[in-house]
A and B are shown apart, each in its own frame.
Chain A
Amino acid sequence: MADVALKIREIARELLDSEKVDVVIGFKKGTLPVMSEPTIIRKASDTKDLIWDATCRLNLCNYLTGRKDRIGIIAKGCDARNIVGHIVENKIKRDQLVIIGVPCTGMADKKVLSDLAGGEVTAYSEAGDQITVSGPAGEKTVSKADVLQSNCCTCIKRNPVIFDEMAGEPVEELSPDNRFADVEAIASMDAAAKWGYFEELLSGCTRCYACKNACPLCYCPTCFVDESRPQWVGKGTDPIDIRTYHFLRAYHCAGRCTDCGACEAACPMDIKMRAFTRKSIKDCVDNYGWETGMKEGVRPPLDTFKTDDPEAFIR
């Protein structure tokens, strides 16, 4: 990915030098081996800080919301789909953006890397499709495909759907046999097993809200969990309040979620809350033939009304 990073820097430098944008939003090297940090670049001379590798997990579209300046933004496949969503939902204007697309071969799962290293990862590097980590278990080199975040294994759009510049050659799209095997496995459980599954899933949630805050869809000026007049949800550790938060958040994302995985990548407690949003993605595919963020100018299914709605009950 080193070539991609060089290309990103070159494009970013040109955009800033020619004053086509005021800022460039991308990633810089983190202070921990498996982390990168979202960053804003204002001067061409700082573009040297931009990086690109499998630690660029967060969704940069999250940093666009409501900005008024002219922005260059690095976008992998899922970020680009969220940018489409942001444009559709009027959170950003297309002509404010210069999208630097990056064909993406997936992000490395932090937890998988740490398991591989036998604990704390003390060194991380990438060469081609190989990832090397060091830790208590010594140095290990694996194929990136073996340490991907789970959402990257069922990605439907690795190449950005929308871009102005490209920082690399298109990559082959995946064609997973069954994208929704995980959802079907949960759906096939009986009620008690399903309840147990979700109880276990949410155990450990501290309601730090990293999941919603990492999510580009969660841009309400006041989130329902913060609303105090009236207060919708209790603020303590009552399991009912925790469930309410996760259920409602998932519903808010229905028809809008691109399965970018930023929520899970951000969760400090390793909660796999995509189990909720994955179900809504499948329902949108099954009921409306809808994939989020693939086309500019099309509003999401739960945001529209059509007189030829296939659901018979509505007529």
Chain B
Amino acid sequence: MSYIRIAKASWDGGLEKARKAYELIGPVPEKDSHKYAVLAAGQLPDMGFKSTKLSPKWVVFPQSEVMFEYTLDESKANHHILQEVPAAPGARAVIGIRPYDAKAIQLTKMNFDNKDYKDPFWLRNYERCTFVGLAINEPSSTDFSTSCGTGPFAEEGLDVLLVDAGDAFIAKVLTDKGKKFLSEAGFAEEAGADAAKAVEDLKAKAEAAITSKVSYNKIAGKTIMDLYDAPFWKDVLFGCINCGTCTYACPTCWCFDIQDEVKGTDGVRVRNWDSCMTGLFTHHASGHNPREHEWERTRQRFMHKLKYFVDKYDAGLMCVGCGRCVEQCPANIDIRTVCNTLNDF
């Protein structure tokens, strides 16, 4: 494992160099918070950001993505034929992605890229990305990532892990893609022999700062129907107003809805984020809705993350503990409480 030292004074210049080979995506201020956005010419990421309300999942799974276009104009030879929208060209580097968000992309990969099915739209977005992560030195009080198979310094899904060490970033090179990014940026200064220890020390400190935990060791051993029919749901989820805040903020929520939108004779087929919180989610064409009541929809969200996924993939929770849903829920429905309730049931 090699470590590169990037003096902060050379950071901006390096990104400008990297821009020749990559479209850059990074955290930028937005109103009172931050968001991940494509960086315009001359725009640099704000690496001092604390958190973002939305995860960068849109990089591989945009909130609205045009898959096909078509024309209904019968005077045209290709009318009524769906034509795939070509993939955007070139490599992308996602700068400053947090370790839990990178892990989240790996969890969703199980859904979009598996032996039965390969989602071409998700995959073409994914494959062009280099993930240049930024470790979290000071986790928030709602960060419970260490309970969820990741953590503030976790490496899974990253090509490079940057660690803020004061006047420099220490870059831990994790893959060939990561090595290429650093070389395009001209970051080549070998970090000294003490780099590994410096990273380990910061990691230990950050992990120790996380006091928020969940337990799910007993969930896999319980039967689905026992949990599904458990008597606590209605009351535990009473306050939920069924907005989609948690589903949109969640880096692992992957449900989508496909729609045709036509204007005049031109049409597109678009894939949009869906949310299990809405009444329309899985509402059958017959009119029957298997999740008729509000609490049943919320149960779906938690059962999916905390039980169905656990059983299907044997890869832990479908949750990376980023804490966004906890922070943003208007009614203070807390996945940690729900998870512990399921585990103790």
Which A residues contact B (CB, under 8 angstroms)? Answer: 30-32, 35-40, 42, 58, 62-63, 111, 119-120, 122, 203-204, 206-214, 222-223, 226, 228, 231, 234-238, 265-270
Contact = CB atoms under 8 A, between A and B. Distances in A.
A264 to B, nearest CB: 10
Contacts, number: 111
Contacts of B140: 120
B253 to A, nearest CB: 11
Interface residues of B, number: 44
Contacts of A226: 278-280
A37 B270 contact: no
A228 B280 contact: yes
B282 interface: no
A206 B243 CA distance: 11
B326 A31 contact: yes
9 pairs of A and B residues whose beta carbons are closest in the complex: A266-B330, A236-B64, A210-B243, A38-B239, A30-B332, A268-B328, A37-B332, A213-B241, A35-B332
Nearest to B337: A31
B332 A31 contact: yes
A42 to B, nearest CB: 8
Nearest to A57: B330
Interface of B: 30-33, 35, 50, 53-54, 63-64, 140-142, 235, 238-239, 241-245, 247-249, 257, 259, 261, 270, 272, 275, 278-280, 283, 326-328, 330-334, 336-337
B281 to A, nearest CB: 9
Q: Is the interface of B mostly helix, strand, loop or mixed?
A: loop
Contacts of B243: 208-214, 266
Given A62-B241, A208-B243, A268 B332 contact: no
A266 B241 contact: yes
A212 B327 CA distance: 19
A30 B235 CA distance: 15
A177 to B, nearest CB: 28
Contacts of B30: 204
A204 B31 contact: yes
B238 A39 contact: yes
30 contacts: A31-B336, A32-B327, A32-B332, A32-B334, A37-B332, A37-B333, A39-B235, A42-B235, A58-B330, A63-B239, A120-B140, A122-B141, A204-B30, A206-B54, A208-B244, A208-B245, A208-B247, A209-B243, A210-B244, A210-B245, A212-B243, A213-B243, A223-B279, A236-B259, A236-B261, A237-B64, A238-B64, A266-B330, A270-B31, A270-B33
